[in-house]
Amino acid sequence: MDRLKKQIDFLIEIDKLKGVLRQSLVLNGTRRENDTEHSWHMATSAFILREYYKKEVDMSRVIKMILIHDIVEILAGDTPAYGEFSPKEKYKKEVESANITFGMLPEDQKKEYLNLWYEFENMETDESKFANACDRFQGFIQNVTSDAHTWRKFKPNKSKILKRMRPIIQYMPEVYNGYIKDYLQKYIDLGVVEDDFPVKAIASDLDGTFVTKEKKVTDINREAIIKAQSKGIEFIAASGRDRTSINDLLKDIPNIKYFICLNGARVYREDEIIYEASIDREVSYDIFLRAKEVGLNYSATSRKNIYYSQLDTEYYREFSLENKNFNFIFDEKKENILKEDYQKLVFYGDKEKFKKLREYVEEKYLDKVNIFESGDSVMDIVNKEASKGNALKIVTNDMGIALDEIVVFGDNENDLAMLKDVNYSVAVENAKDLVKENVRYNTKSNEDSGVGRFLNLFLKLDV
């Protein structure tokens, strides 16, 4: 009966967890939450939000981990997440508490639950990553229901909150970007949370935004990006252009890791394609036929094949090379349109012709494609899932950062999707009015190094 006695003694001991109070408020702020309520809410969050954690996990192991993760606080006490404390001292106290409390169990169970506790703390397995994300989410929910009580009490800045939210950002980005990001921004705007501008990446459109009309990168823009990179900030090139053309434009800027190409239809991490989306063959073929009726010229990208009746200017240099990276197929009379997997369709013409094509496409294929103007006399069409905004989410997920840790620059309709998704959104002076209406900040024109000038001030790059 010694085994049973140890188990019952342990169960009686952990009942004390009901008396360990956290900083969060419950029941409309009438009292503080205790650790058992926190663990229950965490476990429920794990079941409800399971679909947003993309790895396969052993849910029974996750729930065990959640139920025992705060047992150490019976002896070690609760440490406020946003308070001032020594992480080293906190961990030392909790290890001592874990050995004492789990040491009450029979040896096999002591070993099992100690290992589970260490697994949660180390956050290396898929189960522990998911459990930690649920831990941070539950604490966040208590802020939602108490009008940001702990933020008001401890006054953490944005960097500190994002550090706390990092497991959600890294492992459940849909939850962070779909809910937490806007709530945090609300309390920044209210002055409850200080925005210390913890920028980890810069994403910029190129034509009309980062480069001049002559397709040059100004010294101010180049130097600002290189200074930012020296501080560990990534530069993300986001363009309607293909990778080869982007490389030509940005040849003087080193160490670019991520490329958003073809208005989001293709994304690179260095030389690896990490995302690609094509338009349905029948849909693109029908759009071609309508564009031909309207009288528009076209250029269409299907991986290494470029079909065109009017060559896209981005391919001029490539076309002139003896050893080309692409196959160029000229279709002057638009009589040889093929059914292919196209990543991007580009049409050239005037506003009246564009209006006719847009009306046709939006009426028939609004659920299948995105259509937008990307420059003067230029209209692009890509897969519905392809946009600079979606591509930016793919990049941030790959980097393990949040959308509100990025500064984004743009000038045209095809930039709106990524500008609307971030809080540090910037329009250059020459941007379309529609773009200026949907950003937080404005800067000088592309001709006047608007990107570099803004970054020098915003990120204090000259300090």
User: What residue segments make up the domains of the chain, in order of their start?
Assistant: 2-189, 201-272+395-458, 281-383
Contacts of 12 (CB under 8 A, 6+ apart): none
Q: What is the CATH number of domain 2-189?
A: 1.10.3210.10
Look at residue 313 in the predicted model and tell me its pLDDT: 81
- Give me the phi and psi of 330, to 5 degrees please: -85, 135
Closest CA to 91 of 76, 75, 71, 74: 76
- What pLDDT does 11 receive? 97
User: 2-189 with 201-272+395-458: one CATH topology?
Assistant: no
d(CA 267, CA 276): 7
Token pair 């101010």 is at which residue? 220
Alpha helices in 69-213, H assignment, sequence order:
73-76, 87-102, 107-122, 126-145, 149-154, 158-171, 173-175, 181-189
Structure tokens at 162: 């994002």
Q: Parallel, antiparallel, or unpaired: how do β-strands 424-427 and 441-442 relate?
A: parallel
Which residues have C-beta within 8 Å of that of residue 46, sequence separation ≥ 6? 59, 62, 63, 66, 130, 131, 134
Q: Helices in 19-106 by DSSP H: which ranges?
A: 35-48, 59-68, 73-76, 87-102
pLDDT of residue 127: 98
Kindly report the backbone phi and psi dihedral angles of residue 270, in degrees, each rounded to the nearest multiple of 5, phi listed first: 55, -115
Structure tokens at 304: 């290494």
pLDDT of residue 318: 80
Contact 338, 376 (CB under 8 A): no
Q: What's the pTM value of the predicted model, to 2 decimals?
A: 0.90
The pLDDT score that the predictor gives to residue 357 is 94
DSSP 310: S
Q: What class does CATH assign to 281-383?
A: alpha beta
What is the separation of C-alpha 334 from the centre of its chain, rounded to a whole number of angstroms?
Answer: 40
CATH topology of domain 201-272+395-458: Rossmann fold (3.40.50)
CB 144 within 8 A of CB 182: no
Evaluate whether 201 touches 406 at the Cβ level (below 8 Å): yes
What pLDDT does 102 receive? Answer: 98
Give CA–CA dist 84/155, Å, rounded: 11
For residue 371, the SS3 value is strand
Over its length of 463 residues, how does the chain's per-residue pLDDT go in tens digits?
799 999 999 999 999 999 999 999 988 888 999 999 999 999 999 999 999 999 999 999 999 999 999 999 999 999 999 988 899 999 999 999 999 999 999 999 999 999 999 999 999 999 999 999 999 999 999 998 999 999 999 999 999 999 999 999 999 999 999 999 999 999 999 999 999 999 999 999 999 999 999 999 999 999 999 999 999 999 999 999 999 999 999 999 999 999 999 999 999 999 999 999 999 999 999 998 999 999 999 999 998 899 999 988 888 888 888 787 888 988 877 777 778 899 999 999 998 999 999 999 999 999 999 998 877 788 999 999 999 999 999 999 999 999 999 999 999 999 999 999 999 999 999 999 999 999 999 999 999 999 999 999 999 998 6
- Residue 199 confidence (pLDDT): 98
The counts of H helices and E strands in the chain are: 20, 16
Dihedrals φ, ψ of 268, to 5°?
Answer: -110, 140
* 3-state SS class at 165: helix
